[in-house]
Amino acid sequence: MKMIGARALIECLKKEQVQVVFGYPGGSVLTLYNELDQSDITHVLTGHEQGAVHAADGYARATGHTGVAFATSGPGVCNMVTGIATAAMDSIPLVVISGQVATTLIGRDSFQEADISGITTPITKHNYLVKNVKELPRVIKEAFYIASTGRPGPVLVDIAKDVFDAELDFSYPDSVRLRGYKGSIKGDEKDIDEAVEALKEARKPLILTGGGLILSETASLLRTLVKSLGVPVVTTLMGKGAIPDSWDLQLGLAGMHGSYASNMGITDCDLLLSFGARFDDRVTDDVENFAPNAKIVHFDIDKVEINKIVHADISVNGDLRWSLPLFIKKIKALDEKSLQAQYGSWREKVLLNKRQHPFASVPQKGVITPEALFNAAKTYTDEDTVIVTDVGQHQMWAAQFFPLAAPRRFITSGGLGTMGYGLPAALGAKVGCPKCKVVLFTGDGSILMNCQEFSTLHRYAVEVKVIVLQNGVLGMVNQWQRLFYGGRQAASVINDFPDMAKVARAMDVPSFTAASPDDLKQGLDQLFETPGPALLKVIIPSEQKVYPMVPGGRRLDEMILTDPEWKEGAPQ
């Protein structure tokens, strides 16, 4: 069937079962938008291209489907670079489609020209520049395959303007053949046998959950293993939700702001089983002394991650959809009750640590503490609620205090730590999961960075509930300054930032304020009872800090637990 390139692209998206696209039009994609307007694919017009790519990211994390974003050439797609890098760091499947200047103008510094393929090479799983319309169906098929298979990630397809207008005989490929790339990775079964032997010999085993469990949809398998063996679990930020926070054996977040029980568990264990985690610096801190007494078993789909940061005594390279069922099958052949008894004294020790050292805010009378806010907010949600955060103190408090029961219900920027991510990501999550409650926790610094997306929430009546923790400072920056830089709060006090409740109301999003403990219930009632999107500004003290905290470069057992315990320069 003959058609122009823009129509062909829309047909390709239909073949990939794309139902929604987030984007912003411009000169080089006018033909594409003309065809999109005549299709049944939903387009969400965001207030900024960065908002579009973060929304596609949030959609992908919440649904498990590949997110799609459109942008025009030059400044349009350049505005997406931060969002593409955010997705790359957290292995999120995206296909970003950008217009490029016409083929005859490429390389001439033409109006709104940018070498986006060159710019994004380090932050995409792969990218393409399409200058021949006949290549378009194959490229789109490959882009979705690459983005969603293996270790997922963003793929950029840059398409010259004249390609959209050129004609082709459209035919969509049935399969993908790529030299040197395998979408499904199966490793060596002998490595799994070694891991089983290590578990048989261990007396103090510990499981570390990573984002790979969420992305591969294998968290339910791991739950079976935890139940049958009684092995305690610690989680990375990206692995939150893989094991329910309500389980006794879930010790909580590990690393820089991890729980006492988790960090001491890593320090004392004799076997660390890591599933789909990459041992980033926020988890390990002093990498030379990370899990110093443990044999480390690293399950990961990406061979590059194995031994990159932490030496693995046993490495199982392969898709968790292959390795985890096989590992469990071999465990089932053992005497599970005997193994569970073997780990009994270890369980008692870590659970005692968990009871004696729970996450807690520093007590303060007459103010709303982070712990009080999250404890109150969770009573308005259910197990299917999607929690989204920006980046900073509120992000860590959400990870510490807000319990989750399922995967894909905690959406946050982990690796890149992108302030401004939360609002558009929450928009995307709600578009992808319209029947779920979506609650965004953000800070007064982060929310300003993409606050234009309040207008998008209003335009499409997207019911996201936004809770802004306002403390008048750039919280995490300010915390580090107070602890490690002589108390000098350089450029981190923001009392003169706009009142976000007024900003949201200016974009027709109802807003409320809770300034004291007496206001909190009323404010939350108003937030959750208001139809459509709404915002609650919650005033919290600027001196509240996130604890525990492991100072950069220290061992995990050198945690700062509360303010009075810390003396600058002295290990704890």
CATH of the domain at 507: 3.40.50.970
What single-letter DSSP state applies at residue 74?
Answer: T
| 234: CATH | 3.40.50.1220
The residue assigned the tokens 């760091």 is: 89
Note whether 524 and 494 are same-domain residues.
yes
Beta 205-209 vs 233-235: how paired, if at all?
parallel
What pLDDT is attached to residue 562? 87
pLDDT tops 70 at residue 569: no
Say which of 35, 49, 142, 371 is annotated catalytic.
Answer: 49
To the query of whether residue 49 is one of the catalytic residues in this protein, the response is yes
Same structural domain, 418 and 497:
yes
Residue 516 lies in a domain: yes
Place of tokens 């205090």: 401
Assess if residue 175 is contained within a domain.
no
Do the Cβ atoms of 290 and 262 come closer than 8 Å? no
Catalytic pick from 111, 201, 364, 521? 111
Q: Which residues of 29-65 are buried (b: 16+ CB within 10 A; e: fewer)?
A: bebbbebbeeeebeebbbbbbbbbbbbbbbbbbbbbb
Indicate the helix (H) or strand (E) that contains 465.
strand 464-470
Q: For residues 316-331, give the mean pLDDT.
A: 97
Active-site residue identified among 80, 89, 476, 559: 476
Q: Are residues 391 and 318 in the same domain?
A: no
549 belongs to a structural domain: no
User: To which residue do tokens 């303010």 refer?
Assistant: 563
Question: Measured on CA atoms in the order 124, 125, 130, 136, is the torsion positive or negative?
Answer: negative
Specify the length of the chain in residues.
572
- Strand partners of residue 439: 387, 465
Q: How confident is the model at residue 564 (pLDDT cuts 50, 70, 90)?
A: low
Hunting for tokens 């939350």 — which residue is that?
A: 524
Question: What's residue 16's pLDDT?
Answer: 98
* pLDDT tens per residue, range 475-511: 999 999 999 999 999 999 998 999 999 999 999 999 9
Specify whether 387 is located in the same domain as 292. Answer: no
- Same structural domain for residues 278 and 407? no
Strands (E) located in 111-239: 126-130, 154-160, 167-169, 205-209, 233-235
Distance CA(212)–CA(312), nearest Å, equals 17
Q: What is the pLDDT of residues 94-150, one digit of tens each?
A: 999 999 999 999 999 999 999 999 999 999 999 999 999 999 999 999 999 999 999
Domain co-membership, 44 together with 129: yes
Report residue 128: phi and psi, to 5°.
-135, 150
153 assigned to some structural domain: yes
Residues 440 and 386 sit within 8 Å (Cβ to Cβ): no
For residues 216 and 268, membership in a common domain is answered with yes
Same domain for 151 and 209? no
What is the pLDDT of the chain when averaged over all its residues?
A: 96
Instruction: For residue 47, give every residue at least 6 positions away whose Cβ sits within 8 Å of its Cβ, in sequence order, or none.
Output: 450, 452, 453, 455, 456
Strands 2-4 and 167-169 turn out to be antiparallel
404/269 same-domain check: no
Strand partners, 468: 442, 537
As a whole number of angstroms, the distance between CA 290 and CA 254 comes to: 12
Residue 181 lies in a domain: no
Least Cα distance to 549 among 468, 444, 451, 479 occurs for 479
Please report the DSSP string for 543-570 in residue order.
Answer: T---SSB--TTS-TTS-B-SGGG--TT-
Q: Which of 447, 451, 450, 503 lies closest to 475, judged by CA? A: 447
134 and 212 assigned to the same domain = no
**183 domain residue, yes or no:** no
Q: Catalytic residue at 430?
A: no
Instruction: Take residue 403 and report the two structure tokens written for it.
Output: 């319990």
State the Cα torsion 546-395-459-161 to the nearest 10°.
Answer: 130
Contact status, residue 136 vs residue 100, Cβ threshold 8 Å:
no
Cβ(121)–Cβ(61) under 8 Å? no
Q: Specify the 3-state DSSP secondary structure of 437.
A: coil
Q: Is the pLDDT of residue 572 over 90?
A: no
Using one digit for the tens of pLDDT, what is the confidence trace for 367-380? 999 999 999 999 99
User: Over the stretch 518-550, which tens digit does the pLDDT of each residue have?
Assistant: 999 999 999 999 999 999 999 999 999 999 999
Banded pLDDT at 340 (limits 50, 70, 90): very high
Q: Which of 100, 112, 479, 481 is catalytic?
A: 112
Q: Is residue 562 part of a domain?
A: no
Partners of 464 in the β-ladder: 438
- The one catalytic residue among 141, 161, 204, 465: 161
- pLDDT of 185 above 80: yes
- Evaluate if residue 565 carries a pLDDT over 70: no
**321 within a domain of the structure (yes/no):** yes
30: pLDDT strictly greater than 60: yes
* Chain CA centroid to CA 287, Å: 23
Percent of the chain with pLDDT over 90: 95
- For the question of residue 16 being annotated catalytic, the response is no
Same domain flag for 111 and 204: no
Verify whether residue 111 is a known catalytic residue. yes
Burial of 205 (0-12, 13-18, 19+ CB in 10 A): buried
Coil, strand or helix at 493: strand
Quote the domain boundaries for residue 307: 189-356
Number of domains in the chain: 3
Domain end position, chosen among 334, 356, 378: 356
476 catalytic residue (yes or no):
yes
Same domain for 216 and 144?
A: no
Q: Which of 304, 330, 356 is the last residue of a domain?
A: 356
